[in-house]
Structure 1
Amino acid sequence: MQKRYFPITIVTAILFLIAVGGYFTPTSSEDPPVRVLLENKGGKVILDHADHVQAMDQDCAACHHTSGKDPNPPACTQCHVKKFDQAFIVGHQEAIDDKHCLSCHHAKATIDNFSHEDHKTEYTDSCQACHHDPSIEPVPQACSNCHMDGSNSVPNLRDAAHGRCTDCHEDLYQEGLKGCTNCHVRDQSPDPAAEPQACTSCHTVQVEQLVPTSMNAFHGQCRGCHEKTGSGPFDDESCKQCHMQ
């Protein structure tokens, strides 16, 4: 009877030893990731881990100070500049070709970092700068409404407003939007770019659509200034363009 179960006992013992041996055998370390997706306020940034490993001569301890597997990579500011001021922005744009933004900035992941609070603080006087419906749409307009696609850099408020306004108004003017004083107050300061006015300085009434019809725009905006002076591009004779005598 014992001889009958002896081979089974031997096989079981061998399998047990193999299993125990495999458990205690050191496993080879996993290959380091090629790229790591980092979160920051300006959008998710792709850290090229392979490039950093090469730059540090494969000295992992230069960035990772623990021997265990730390899921959180060290902060970029451990080696790079900590203050993201105007000087950093300019230097960053000059050092890197704008065509290669996507080598670091993940286009499809950036929207998660949109800060409504920051935009609310920036545009305290006019929610309609982003939300065109007076009831305030739950979803803001596309970022490209102000931050135009194909820009060589992050646009300032002037460039954003110029790009956005001319998108709507260029069909009214063959050569584009004319009349800087429509938005800029005429003054004697050395800086010709005076403070731009809010959209509501021209678009005074909340309507279902921010962009008014040609008739309402002409009567409410153009004639509001020109009917008293009788001069400029919209004088009394301009009525004949729409109204029959």
Structure 2
Amino acid sequence: MQKRYLPIALLTVVLAAVAAVGYLLPEPREATPRRVLLDNAGGPVVFQHADHAFQLKIPCQKCHHESPVQRENVQRCESCHGIAVNAAFKKNHIVAFNDNAACATCHHYELGPKKWGHKKHQEDYGLDCRECHHKNTEIEPEPQNCADCHESGAPTSKKAEEGTPPNLADAVHARCLTCHEEMFAAKARGCAQCHSQKAVRDILPEEGLVRLNPMFTNCAVCHGLPAEKLIPGRMDAYHTLCMGCHEKEKKGPYGKEQCAQCHTSK
């Protein structure tokens, strides 16, 4: 190579390196990103955020659960997917999210009591009081209000310990289960048959964090599974969302044999 071409060659290499770095690096968090680099063991993915958000006019809520349109209030996917739901997360996550809509993503409903029909069970179904109240008169000489002995608390599904009364929810559920197995078999879907439901998203205040009922902040109260079993990891979340949308639209990659269309080489 002639010496006069050496500066041009060096400049070309530098410009190519700068262009490659600029293309692969994600945008600053405070800006609306044009591209997002998703690091992955199967090869990094450069997600064209601008193409999806602006050219295809996909609203923020399509990918970011419950998020308002304003960019500053949209949560990053890794804020929830792939995190460890441990004591530190439970303590700090309330202040980590910057809008109330994020609460409704995980905390869907609050359950309220429902008039279950004491008279109906007694007169229409012909049930004796002792069918629900303790038959052992040493425990309960006369049928009385369950809350007189059972303290309020969220359902735990734990077996009662001898000598220790279960909380009110566990005690009532245990009695109801003897006749209404089908309701409990439906798990979360069966709750509405006895409980009124209040959607958290409908009670969110415009400012300040929503005050959730602590009885229902544990996912397992309704779902029967802890949060770490319900929140998919980053890879599963991205695959389900991205591939599901592409498959529905019948456009772009969505089959397992098309990985290379999203993942670059390692």
- Report the TM-score, using the length of structure 1 for normalisation: 0.22
Q: Highest Rg: 1 or 2?
A: 1
**TM-score, structure 2 normalization:** 0.20
RCO greater where, 1 or 2, for CA within 8 Å and sep 6 or more? 2
